[in-house]
Structure 1
Amino acid sequence: MRVLNYLELADRLDRSGIGTSVDHQRQALADTDVDVLTTPWTDGHPGWAVGGNLAFDDPVFREYDVAHCNMIGPGSVAVARHATRNDIPLVLHAHVTREDFRGSFRGSNLVAPALGEYLQWFYSQADTVLCPSEYTKGVLEEYPIDAPIRPVTNGVDTAPLEGFESFREEYRERYDLDGMVVFAVGSVFERKGLTTFCELAQQTDYDFAWFGTYDDGPHGSAEVRKWTSDPPENVTFTGWVDDVRGAYGAGDVFLFPSKVENQGIVVLEAMACGKAVVLSDIPVFREYYEDGHDCLICSDEAEFREALARLDANPDLRERLGENAEETAREHGLDRVGERLIETYEGLV
């Protein structure tokens, strides 16, 4: 079976959660009988996607049995129309929703309603829509999406995390971190709980570090510009780090007070590293994780403060949560991702 696994704007999304998820899909399929194509274009140039009717002529497209698109732009629209015209099964992966688009950058809240209408139209073209969680499935059903929807975990790739412990001293010294370090990983957005993260730092004495890029220019949200330009004394925004293992090595308690998530790959990465994880009380985290078993789930700042104090005072609790978190992460291995994708493709061909 030849499957197109297409990520539009791949070069711009390589540091994003979407890019990571697509990497996981392709790695999961690498050891199977599926022959994966990563571009639909015979000349490799996405410019054909906006070339009018020529974009839908067969000579422009390579041959494949299933089309699987992971983004929502003009190239993906061209692939979707080509698939429909040629009776090729079409899988659209819903990494983007109106809800998780809000709070991402300046003006995103204003654009979100129109985006929702577009996503309803775009995803409804699919023979099957894949999404990261039952929570996201429920969101899409409310749009509503006129296509079958199947949840499949984004998965976690543990290979790039191996040896993270060896980076501990280097990264703690580099960013002047000491004691129980509370940390986050990934791009800095208000939607990810930036204000809560910083306000908790102001209310406690722990060192806080956020390992990830941020936009403090005109496209950045007011909250991002505010906190990154003048952070609390005990907060470090590292920007891009050379090796993500340094982040997981340096940190002790992974704090992720996100407002909206479709799954949260960084949570699985922290769990795979055996870190104690503290999460916001949102549906997707309740779906995948168990409070008091593999994480602590908090509904407001007071609960977050109490959770951090408990973990600081009780290293055994940190260790137990971390051990259980590793078990949870194993349930999201790439083998599970591959099985689910193949089931989807075979069900359509």
Structure 2
Amino acid sequence: MRVLDYLELDSQLDRAGIGTAHDQQVEALERARAAGADVEVVTSPWAAGDPRAALRGALAGRSPLSDVDVIHLNLIGPASVALARYAKVTDTPLVLHCHVTSEDFRESFRGSNAIAPALRRYLRWFYSQADLVLTPSEYTKRRLLEYPVDAPIRAVSNGIDRDSVADHERYREEYRERFDLDGVVMFAVGSVFERKGLTAFCEVAKRTDHDFAWFGTVDSGPQASPTVKRWTDDPPENVTFSGWVDDKPGAFGAGDVFFFPTKEENQGIVVLEAMACGKPCVLRDIPVFREYFEDGHDCLLCDSRAEMVEALNRLADDPDLRERLGENARETAAEHSLERVGEELVETYEQLLESR
């Protein structure tokens, strides 16, 4: 079984959650193959992975596109639309992976809220082309059913590549010194958006005496929202915005409590990464986190900023609680191994092929 697992604009998305999710899919399938599964994965739609060679082949009368048994697409742009149509013409099973919803598109950059309603209509049409839509959570599946998307939908965790953050501790002193961090550090990782809880992050920081650090890209161009510019240009005294960091494990090594007051997620790979590092997590109480995590066991879920302040102060003062939540979080992350994800993806592809 040969599978095209394709991410349009992959080079531009290598710092985004979608890029991480796609990389983990490919790694999960490679691990499944190493374990004996009959699956081969290619990431380019072009024959031999080279558009120039594909063009030469087309001039010689050969198909310019890879010969595959399943097409699995991870984005929603024009190249993905073209490949979805190609799948229909060739009767190739088509899997569309929902990493984008109109809900999580909101509060991402300037003008995103105005575009979101039209995006919802487009997504309803696009995802309905699939033989199967995969979502990272049952929560996102419910969202798509409300659009409504006219295709079968199945939830499969994005998983977590624990190897990608396995050596985080060795970066601890270097990163804390580089960004002048001290004490019990509250931290977030990922691109800086209001949808990720930027205002709550800063307002909560102002009400505590701890150091806060947000490791991730800060948009400074015309697409940056006024809220992002306001907070990052003049942050509270105890808040550091690092910008992009080359060594992702360094971010998880420098921080002590992962603080993620995001307003909307389809799953939240970054939370699983923090949990894989054994970090206690303080999260906004949103439905998708209730699906995967348990308040008081592997995280603390908070409704309000007052609750967030209380939870962070409590963790700062109680190393035993930090250790207990962190150990339980590590066990939760282990349940989302790439080996398990690979098994589910292979099973999904096989079922689609059997149904043809």
1:17 is displaced (CA, Å) by: 0.5
Which residue of structure 2 lines up, in the alignment, with residue 51 of structure 1? none
1:37 aligns with 2:42: yes
Cα RMSD, aligned residues only: 1.4
1:90-118 CA distances to partner (integer Å, 9 max, x unpaired)? 00000000000001000000000000000
2:283 pairs, out of 273, 279, 288, with 279
Q: 2: distance between equivalents of 1:119 and 1:217?
A: 27
Which residue of structure 2 lines up, in the alignment, with residue 95 of structure 1? 99
> Letter of the aligned partner of 1:271 in structure 2?
M
1:62-82 CA distances to partner (integer Å, 9 max, x unpaired)? 210000000001111111101
- After alignment, is 164-173 or 289-298 more displaced? 164-173
List gaps (5 residues or longer) in structure 1.
49-53
Q: Is the 8 A contact 1:292 1:321 kept in 2?
A: yes
TM-score by length of 1: 0.96
Which residue of structure 1 lines up, in the alignment, with residue 309 of structure 2? 305
SS in 2 for 1:10: coil
Q: 2: distance between equivalents of 1:163 and 1:329?
A: 16
**% same residue:** 67
> Letter of the aligned partner of 2:156 in structure 1?
V
1:216 is displaced (CA, Å) by: 2.2
Which residue of structure 2 lines up, in the alignment, with residue 267 of structure 1? 271
Which residue of structure 1 lines up, in the alignment, with residue 6 of structure 2? 6
Q: 2: distance between equivalents of 1:58 and 1:124?
A: 30
Which residue of structure 1 lines up, in the alignment, with residue 85 of structure 2? 81
Q: 2: distance between equivalents of 1:71 and 1:15?
A: 15
1:196 is displaced (CA, Å) by: 0.2
Which residue of structure 1 lines up, in the alignment, with residue 318 of structure 2? 314
List gaps (5 residues or longer) in structure 2.
none
Which residue of structure 2 lines up, in the alignment, with residue 154 of structure 1? 158
TM-score by length of 2: 0.94
1:336 pairs, out of 322, 334, 340, with 340
Q: How many residues align?
A: 341
Which residue of structure 1 lines up, in the alignment, with residue 251 of structure 2? 247
Q: Is the 8 A contact 1:181 1:251 kept in 2?
A: yes
1:174 aligns with 2:172: no
SS in 1 for 2:144: helix
Q: 1: distance between equivalents of 2:307 and 2:274?
A: 21
Q: 1: distance between equivalents of 2:23 and 2:195?
A: 24
Q: 2: distance between equivalents of 1:211 and 1:18?
A: 17
- After alignment, is 37-46 or 307-316 more displaced? 37-46
1:141 aligns with 2:145: yes
Q: Is the 8 A contact 1:216 1:228 kept in 2?
A: no
Which residue of structure 1 lines up, in the alignment, with residue 123 of structure 2? 119
Q: Is the 8 A contact 1:183 1:251 kept in 2?
A: yes
> Letter of the aligned partner of 2:23 in structure 1?
D
Q: 1: distance between equivalents of 2:105 and 2:297?
A: 30
Q: Is the 8 A contact 1:191 1:260 kept in 2?
A: yes
Q: Is the 8 A contact 1:192 1:256 kept in 2?
A: yes
Q: Is the 8 A contact 1:217 1:225 kept in 2?
A: no
Q: 2: distance between equivalents of 1:160 and 1:81?
A: 35
SS in 2 for 1:236: strand
Q: 2: distance between equivalents of 1:300 and 1:307?
A: 11
> Letter of the aligned partner of 1:40 in structure 2?
P
> Letter of the aligned partner of 2:235 in structure 1?
P
Which residue of structure 2 lines up, in the alignment, with residue 15 of structure 1? 15
SS in 2 for 1:60: coil
1:105 aligns with 2:116: no
Which residue of structure 1 lines up, in the alignment, with residue 202 of structure 2? 198
Q: 1: distance between equivalents of 2:253 and 2:87?
A: 45
1:241 is displaced (CA, Å) by: 0.7
1:58 is displaced (CA, Å) by: 7.7
Q: Is the 8 A contact 1:216 1:229 kept in 2?
A: no
1:217 is displaced (CA, Å) by: 2.2
1:163 is displaced (CA, Å) by: 1.8
Which residue of structure 2 lines up, in the alignment, with residue 347 of structure 1? 351
> Letter of the aligned partner of 1:157 in structure 2?
D
1:44 is displaced (CA, Å) by: 3.5
Q: 1: distance between equivalents of 2:51 and 2:242?
A: 35
1:148-181 CA distances to partner (integer Å, 9 max, x unpaired)? 0000101100112122111111111100000110
> Letter of the aligned partner of 1:36 in structure 2?
V
1:312 is displaced (CA, Å) by: 1.2
SS in 2 for 1:259: coil
Q: 1: distance between equivalents of 2:262 and 2:11?
A: 26
Q: Is the 8 A contact 1:71 1:93 kept in 2?
A: yes
| Structure 1 runs of 4+ with >4 Å offset | none
1:41 is displaced (CA, Å) by: 2.2
> Letter of the aligned partner of 1:34 in structure 2?
V
1:139 is displaced (CA, Å) by: 0.3
> Letter of the aligned partner of 1:19 in structure 2?
G
